[in-house]
Chain A
Amino acid sequence: MTTLFTNARLIDPSKLTDEIGSLLVQDGVIAAMGADVTAPEDAEVIDCGGKCLAPGIVDIGVKVCEPGERHKESYKSAGLSAAAGGVTTIVTRPDTLPAIDTPEVLEFVERRANEAAPVNVMPMAALTKGREGKEMTEIGFLMDAGAIAFTDCDHVVTDNKVLTRAMTYARSLDALVIAHPQDPGLSKGACATSGKYATLYGLPAVSPMAERMGLDRDMALVETTGVKYHADQVTAARALPALERAKANGLDVTAGTSIHHLTLNELDTSGYRTFFKIKPPLRPETDRQAMVAAVKSGLIDIISSMHTPQDEESKRLPFEEAASGAVALETLLPAAIQLYQNGDLTLPELFRAMALNPANRLGLPSGRLEEGAPADLVLFDADAPFVLDRFALKSKSKNTPFDGAKMQGKVLATFVAGKAVYS
């Protein structure tokens, strides 16, 4: 099966180019690309009409609520939501009920994912049993069963000895450890960032310094153990120097941030709007701008959706009691395009952070427009305007902060290994 995409704006995150050209897909793999590509006569031709063709998004940190809370999100609904959002690989979180911390649970998850999801699903497993921070999981068995990385998600392993041992053991297997940089003592009970806003609204708040302290601690342990480390979300300007130092010292460290921390700030939660309650809490505008600059410079490597489905019941509560998190698989790309339309980041820079870098970090061949790479592609119109209706989302949960937002950037089609999974 051969497909030729013609007249496309090819968004190449490796060369950071954005040029009109054609792209040839043969047997699910990119066979050729460029200004003049010759295709066999029997090739199906798709005229992209000058719209953007980019590598499909690789999204690290997607919560699918299986096992435990399938009413919030199943592999099927998450997969359809991903496909509609141009996300071709979801890297799923183990913070389910129960946690994905044994090969047996992981196998259940993989079976469900393969049956139901139209996109690639790469599961992560917990770093410690039950995400309790006491004993490491069977990292070797879990890797054999397909775990792509190890994380306790938003649970911080507070016992330094436990974390050091888990990191040391993970290093012997070349496993990637993903952590949530945060000082859990300082941030206990907080649901906002400390400052004028939280003071005025009377919300328990945490200083962004807690994030830097968490990152500082983790960097010391990475230096001790030599483990491959990724910080799931860096969201505060104060944490950036620690990251910069670690990278300059040659530690094997990468960092991500969430699309919400790049496009929203703490004022968006005003009026106690719980759909904007996420973890870490939204920051002041100065932090948001610093995060955008850090993505541009490459200091922050990866943008994630941090897709976290929550039902209405867990959100329609007083702010302090309401659950954290937002669904974002379908809004990741349009929200990112805001940054492009604002002139903050180019499309190749965005896809470097949303596709190439995460794929590289996980050792995946996807996330790039190169000969031999899997034809995981998204075709989108970066200018098409729309008003987001949360009830039109494919996700089972509708807790998006972008309800009613005027956005630009519509996904026209999504392809996984050359096959259309959304159009």
Chain B
Amino acid sequence: MTFTQKHLLGIEQLRPEEITSVLDLADEYVDLSRRDVKHSDALTGLTQVNMFFENSTRTQASFELAGKRLGADVMNMSMQASSIKKGETLIDTAMTLNAMHPDLLVVRHPHSGAVDLLSQKVNCAVLNAGDGRHEHPTQALLDALTIRRAKGRIQRLNIAICGDVAHSRVARSNVILLNKMENRVRLIGPPTLVPGHFADMGCEIYDDMEEGLKDVDVVMMLRLQKERMDGGFIPSEREYYHRYGLDADKLAHAKPDAIVMHPGPMNRGVEIDGEIADDINRSVIQEQVEMGVAVRAAAMDLLARNLRAARAPETAEV
């Protein structure tokens, strides 16, 4: 079997052929989602718990839908509201949950490394739905799938990631994935939001957007968090839009067939011009959302296969 992981904690742990196997299976699940009867039995009988220690609408909905289409019993737990306020530690929460025998645990947490820590304390498959500013592997995989379907390959492309790289787990996972698949990655943004240390990770760094976008095949925009806009990292929203907001003039420096991506939710008029976002010839932002469900379905399916294989010898002995 190509995909040998027990958990999906980050792109860092995946081999290139494992990434490809997720994307290949996800392609099949795209077809499933487009059918009238959007249902398979891949996860029938399994319990999927979505545990979100940080607000999320889109990612949680995507995981929930993916699980339901594959027949899993899905439960959503919004953790800000419950035990955290009562002072329970992350490990206690994990142990409590583990006693309920979940099979797939989808976790988002505001601190880097927290999902890793949690995965050590449970005996089910854990999927990282974003930990601090560390990794967001399913986002990078859905971006890769979107690129592969648009460009026909996910190798030897020039890809620019623009905006708040410093605080972005999406950027980290994408940098790791795109490097593993042998692409050239450029990071574009003001130096307060694009630390020079990313050069050590094999990226080219630009603080000039037009120069950075020159001849790229893919433009990935990142969301700028509201709390970074008030003079802390950048002087103002309008100056940021002027220098780093993606509009037609700046995009003209990229290749004529370059695609535009955004992990959402977008701030129109801050990091991206509304017209670009809606341009069906350039923007693949809606397709990213569709690929998200397929990639998450594929990842959970592959992890569930490994989980069943790991459990099989025990049942055989009985």
List the interface of chain A (C-beta within 8 A of B): 194-196, 198-203, 271-272, 313, 316-321
| A interface SS class | loop
List the interface of chain B (C-beta within 8 A of A): 12, 89-91, 109, 111-114, 116-117, 131-135, 169, 172, 195, 197-198, 200-201
Cα–Cα distance between A194 and B90 once the two chains are bound (Å) = 26
Residues of A within 8 A of B113 (CB): 201-203, 272, 318-320
Beyond A272-B113, A319-B111, whether A194 also contacts B197 by CB under 8 A is: yes
Residues of A within 8 A of B132 (CB): 202-203, 318, 320
Cα–Cα distance between A102 and B276 once the two chains are bound (Å) = 66
Cα–Cα distance between A317 and B198 once the two chains are bound (Å) = 27
Beyond A201-B134, A202-B135, whether A318 also contacts B197 by CB under 8 A is: no
A to B CB contacts below 8 Å, 18 in the list: A194-B197, A196-B200, A196-B201, A199-B197, A199-B201, A200-B201, A201-B112, A202-B132, A202-B133, A202-B134, A202-B172, A272-B117, A318-B90, A318-B111, A318-B112, A318-B113, A318-B117, A319-B112
A202 touches B169 (CB 8 A): yes
Cα–Cα distance between A199 and B166 once the two chains are bound (Å) = 8
A200 touches B172 (CB 8 A): yes
Interface contacts beyond A272-B117, A317-B89: sample of 5 additional A-B pairs, CB < 8 Å, sorted by A: A195-B197, A198-B197, A201-B112, A202-B132, A202-B133
Residues of A within 8 A of B90 (CB): 317-318
Cα–Cα distance between A204 and B272 once the two chains are bound (Å) = 27
7 smallest CB-CB distances across A and B, nearest first, come from A272-B113, A202-B134, A318-B114, A318-B111, A202-B133, A196-B200, A202-B112
Cα–Cα distance between A201 and B109 once the two chains are bound (Å) = 14
Residues of A within 8 A of B200 (CB): 195-196, 199
B139 to chain A, nearest CB (A): 14
B151 to chain A, nearest CB (A): 27
Residues of B within 8 A of A198 (CB): 197
B104 to chain A, nearest CB (A): 21
B91 touches A316 (CB 8 A): yes
Interface centre among A196, A198, A313 (most CB of B within 10 A): A196
B172 to chain A, nearest CB (A): 6
A187 to chain B, nearest CB (A): 16
In the complex formed, the residue of A with least CB distance to B53 is A318
A313 touches B89 (CB 8 A): yes
Residues of A within 8 A of B131 (CB): 202
Residues of B within 8 A of A200 (CB): 12, 172, 201
Cα–Cα distance between A201 and B195 once the two chains are bound (Å) = 14
B308 to chain A, nearest CB (A): 27
Beyond A194-B197, A196-B197, A199-B201, whether A272 also contacts B135 by CB under 8 A is: no
Cα–Cα distance between A271 and B197 once the two chains are bound (Å) = 19
Beyond A196-B200, A199-B200, A199-B201, whether A318 also contacts B109 by CB under 8 A is: yes
Residues of A within 8 A of B172 (CB): 200, 202
B201 touches A320 (CB 8 A): no
Cα–Cα distance between A318 and B111 once the two chains are bound (Å) = 6
Cα–Cα distance between A320 and B109 once the two chains are bound (Å) = 12
A320 touches B112 (CB 8 A): yes
In the complex formed, the residue of A with least CB distance to B135 is A202
Cα–Cα distance between A196 and B195 once the two chains are bound (Å) = 10
Cα–Cα distance between A271 and B113 once the two chains are bound (Å) = 8
In the complex formed, the residue of A with least CB distance to B167 is A202
B181 to chain A, nearest CB (A): 18
Residues of B within 8 A of A321 (CB): 111
Residues of B within 8 A of A272 (CB): 112-113, 116-117
B125 to chain A, nearest CB (A): 19
Cα–Cα distance between A202 and B91 once the two chains are bound (Å) = 21
Interface centre among A196, A203, A318 (most CB of B within 10 A): A318
Cα–Cα distance between A167 and B197 once the two chains are bound (Å) = 39
A199 touches B112 (CB 8 A): no
In the complex formed, the residue of B with least CB distance to A319 is B113
Cα–Cα distance between A90 and B114 once the two chains are bound (Å) = 36
Interface centre among B89, B90, B111 (most CB of A within 10 A): B111
Cα–Cα distance between A47 and B113 once the two chains are bound (Å) = 52
Residues of B within 8 A of A320 (CB): 111-113, 132
Cα–Cα distance between A272 and B132 once the two chains are bound (Å) = 13
Residues of A within 8 A of B116 (CB): 271-272
Q: Could you say which of B109, B114, B198 contacts A199, with CB atoms under 8 Å apart?
A: B198
Cα–Cα distance between A200 and B200 once the two chains are bound (Å) = 10
Cα–Cα distance between A24 and B45 once the two chains are bound (Å) = 78
B195 touches A199 (CB 8 A): yes
A14 to chain B, nearest CB (A): 45
B113 to chain A, nearest CB (A): 3
Residues of A within 8 A of B89 (CB): 313, 316-317
Cα–Cα distance between A351 and B132 once the two chains are bound (Å) = 43
A292 to chain B, nearest CB (A): 24
Residues of A within 8 A of B112 (CB): 201-203, 272, 318-320
Cα–Cα distance between A272 and B117 once the two chains are bound (Å) = 8
Cα–Cα distance between A321 and B111 once the two chains are bound (Å) = 8
B189 to chain A, nearest CB (A): 14
A322 to chain B, nearest CB (A): 9
In the complex formed, the residue of B with least CB distance to A271 is B116
Residues of B within 8 A of A195 (CB): 197, 200
A21 to chain B, nearest CB (A): 52
Cα–Cα distance between A196 and B197 once the two chains are bound (Å) = 5
Cα–Cα distance between A201 and B9 once the two chains are bound (Å) = 12
In the complex formed, the residue of A with least CB distance to B132 is A202
In the complex formed, the residue of A with least CB distance to B114 is A318
Cα–Cα distance between A313 and B90 once the two chains are bound (Å) = 10
Cα–Cα distance between A272 and B90 once the two chains are bound (Å) = 15
Residues of B within 8 A of A271 (CB): 116
B239 to chain A, nearest CB (A): 24
Cα–Cα distance between A194 and B134 once the two chains are bound (Å) = 14
Cα–Cα distance between A218 and B296 once the two chains are bound (Å) = 54
B166 to chain A, nearest CB (A): 9
In the complex formed, the residue of A with least CB distance to B118 is A318
Residues of A within 8 A of B134 (CB): 201-203
Cα–Cα distance between A194 and B169 once the two chains are bound (Å) = 17
Residues of B within 8 A of A194 (CB): 195, 197
Cα–Cα distance between A264 and B12 once the two chains are bound (Å) = 24
A311 to chain B, nearest CB (A): 12
Interface centre among B109, B112, B172 (most CB of A within 10 A): B112
